[in-house]
Structure 1
Amino acid sequence: MSQLISRILDHLSEFLAARKGLLPLLGLGLILLNLIIQFLSDGWVAQTHLLLHLGLIIAILGFMLARAL
């Protein structure tokens, strides 16, 4: 099991090293999607700003990983 997790992390690291801006762009996309949902819907996702918070966390992690990789 630990070898499987190690292989998955190795592949993920190699994938993200070649695409350093992917996670920040994904985070920005989620933030913009949250803005659109605020105007179109009044559901649970719009009230909790779930995509805003998730996008912010992904973008920050993306910047941190891009510097490390």
Structure 2
Amino acid sequence: MKNNVKIFRVQADLTQHQLAEKVGVTRQTISLIEKGKYNPTLKLCLEICYAVNKNLNEIFWVDREEFK
């Protein structure tokens, strides 16, 4: 899954640690999500969206080719 978490986190003026505290995970989890090495649950995706005031489509997506 691809994401723009880092872009919107920085725009929201949040550190990885601050975002992690807002959504109830560790800073390391946020780092892994931003690097695309961890696929968060839908619940965590939504928590991140609410924390940075963006919608799901703006932050997370999957390329159709990944399903083929």
Alignment TM-score, normalising by the size of structure 1: 0.27
Higher helix share: 1
Compare CA radii of gyration and give the structure with the larger one: 1
